Amino acid sequence: MPWSSLLVLALAVMVWTFPVPRPSDADVKFAKGYLEKFYGFRPLAGRPRRQVEFGAKGFRAKVKEMQRFFGLSVSGELDQQTLAAMSRSRCGLADTEQFGDTTRWRTHRLSYSISRYGTKMKPSQIRKVFRVAWRMWARATPLKFKRTRTEADIMISFNTRDHEDGSPFDGPGGTLAHAFLPGPHLGGDVHFDAEENWTSTISGYNLVAVAVHEFGHALGLAHSPDPGAVMFPAYQFDPHTDLQLSFQDVQDIQQLYGKSPVEPDKPPPKTPDKCDPELSFDAVTGFQEELIFFKDRFMWRSHPTFEEIRITLITSLWSDIPTYMDAAYENNGTIVIFKDSQYWEVSGLDVKDGFPRDISDFGFPDKIRSVDAALHFRETQVTVFFTGEECWRYDEEQKRMTDGYPKMMMREWATVPWPVDTAVEYQGLVYFFIGNLQLEFDPELQRVTNTRPANTWLRCADTHHQHGHRKQLLELL
């Protein structure tokens, strides 16, 4: 078709569509979403949910602002032309749609482009980091990400201070990065503060960890209340475990884009629930007035005066200690943590210098490559280690294993089944944790005096499962 005919056709369409009928409710809703995203429009009754603040203005004022930008007649009315401009995206680039409370990309093939590097990390390394970060979202969904050197759906850049999007960066610290929800123009774009100390290690800010989070926003995800989620709003980087999306992240992104056509090689990790009747623990230790319960990458602290016991990441308190640990005990304010054949001593917020060390320090023979549980008695300065059906007695004052050990558990801890997950002394009684059970052992009576669900001390409101636990225990003993 010759250009002149196209022009005539276009004019005909335009003439034909005027004068404007009243925009439908759906059009108004769409326009509000659009203006909210790209022009800082805030519906008065709505909560602020935008990521970059432009300041609130009235709906008509925002429509005018947008019309001015697109070179349309500045009427403040939602006419067909205006709606068309709103729904048109950059040439050849992905479109988006409103989906429930958020916006998602309409296509599964998205392009990204790195338009400005400008930090001390090498460009090749940065490209690799972004490839890794996109792959994490791609694995969970049907989404495919391809880097281009031109205009892309998602423009990524490192910027300094004011970079003309209304959200200036603030130099080292503070804001690290931000992303725009899916959409045309700035939509989907990701900016990193070039003045941060970006690294691919534990020092400074780990670029993969922050990129995965920002890319989640660029795909339409909001923050997650799950502390195990990549979309949880707290910087977390754990050098001991591979960075991966949590079960919750996968649920949230699949809600928007659907499942991946290929099965995952390993299921995403679930954040443990303190009210799960099946909850077991890796380790439990005293900690001054508290007890700390460790599980996977998480812990719960039960301070007598804390109202509610909330789950946190171990790394939010101790950034350098291992996760998925085997055992832990407290000795005089120092926490000793065991994982495989290594142990760490933690004092205050830091791992002591020279750790981890090998557990052979305690006098274990070479065949013992890990411990199940460690139980410390404050009064006597004795630590008991459990390895399978055997137990060991370590004298903290003399720093040596007591002669005659190991002994069979049956001889010293009659009626306690093995292997145990963890053990702790608390107010003169010993508590063993075995799967989802907790056994109270009275050292004076030399027997189990009570049994409860393992998670009893986390003060879970739900106690319906107690009956089942006791029954299970009777079968165990």
Q: Contact residues for ligand TQI (CB under 6 A)? A: 51, 175-178, 210, 213-214, 217, 233-235
Q: Which does 165 bind (CB under 5 to 8 A by kind): Ca ion, ligand TQI, Zn ion, none?
A: Zn ion
Between 235 and 426, name the residue whose CB sits nearer to Ca ion: 235
Q: Which does 314 bind (CB under 5 to 8 A by kind): Ca ion, Zn ion, ligand TQI, none?
A: none
Between 190 and 448, name the residue whose CB sits nearer to Ca ion: 190
118 contributes a contact to Ca ion by CB under 5 A? no
Site residues for Ca ion, 314-353, by CB under 5 A, read none
Between 81 and 119, name the residue whose CB sits nearer to ligand TQI: 119
Between 176 and 359, name the residue whose CB sits nearer to ligand TQI: 176
- Closest contact distance (angstroms) between CB of 201 and Ca ion is 19
Between 53 and 462, name the residue whose CB sits nearer to Zn ion: 53
CB contact at 8 A, 476 and 432? no
Rounded to 10 deg, the angle between the 123-140 and 207-218 helix axes is: 50
Q: Which does 170 bind (CB under 5 to 8 A by kind): ligand TQI, Ca ion, Zn ion, none?
A: Ca ion
Q: Which does 51 bind (CB under 5 to 8 A by kind): ligand TQI, Ca ion, Zn ion, none?
A: ligand TQI
Q: What one-character-per-residue DSSP string does 348-416 give?
A: TTEEPTT-SEEGGGGT--TT----SEEEEETTTTEEEEEETTEEEEEETTTTEEPTT--EEHHHHSTT-
170 contributes a contact to Ca ion by CB under 5 A? yes
Residue span binding Ca ion (CB under 5 A) among the ranges 70-78, 162-170, 371-379, 388-396: 162-170
Residues with Cβ < 8 Å from 158, sequence gap 6 or more? 116, 117, 118, 119, 191, 192, 193, 194
- Closest contact distance (angstroms) between CB of 223 and Zn ion is 5
- Closest contact distance (angstroms) between CB of 319 and Zn ion is 20
193 contributes a contact to Ca ion by CB under 5 A? yes
DSSP E strand stretches across 84-133: 96-99, 102-105, 109-116
**Can you read off the two tokens belonging to residue 381?**
């300065």
Handedness of CA 96, 98, 104, 106 (dihedral sign): negative
Annotation marks residue 397 as catalytic: no
- Closest contact distance (angstroms) between CB of 223 and ligand TQI is 6
Q: Which does 214 bind (CB under 5 to 8 A by kind): Zn ion, ligand TQI, Ca ion, none?
A: ligand TQI
Between 43 and 172, name the residue whose CB sits nearer to Ca ion: 172
Which residues contribute to the site for Zn ion (CB under 5 A)? Answer: 165, 191
Instruction: With CB under 5 A as the rule, give the number of residues binding Ca ion.
Output: 4
Per the residue annotation, which of 36, 65, 214, 345 is the catalytic one?
214
**Can you read off the two tokens belonging to residue 314?**
């171990």
- Closest contact distance (angstroms) between CB of 184 and ligand TQI is 19
**Can you read off the two tokens belonging to residue 369?**
């490559």
Q: How far apart are CA 111 and CA 150, in angstroms?
A: 9
Residue 94 carries which DSSP code?
A: P
Site residues for Ca ion, 171-190, by CB under 5 A, read 174-175
Helix (H, G, I), strand (E, B) or coil at 104: strand
Q: Which does 62 bind (CB under 5 to 8 A by kind): Ca ion, ligand TQI, Zn ion, none?
A: none
Of 218, 220, 211, 212, nearest in space to 254 by CA = 220
Residue 458 carries which DSSP code?
A: G
Residue 105 carries which DSSP code?
A: E
Q: Which does 210 bind (CB under 5 to 8 A by kind): Ca ion, Zn ion, ligand TQI, none?
A: ligand TQI
443 contributes a contact to Ca ion by CB under 5 A? no
Residues 16, 21, 27, 32, Cα dihedral to 10°: 110
Between 166 and 428, name the residue whose CB sits nearer to Zn ion: 166
Helix (H, G, I), strand (E, B) or coil at 148: coil
Order of strands, sheet of 447-453, starting from the edge strand that comes earlier in the sequence = 422-426, 429-434, 437-442, 447-453
- The site for Ca ion (CB under 5 A) is made up of 170, 174-175, 193
Write out the catalytic residue numbers. 214
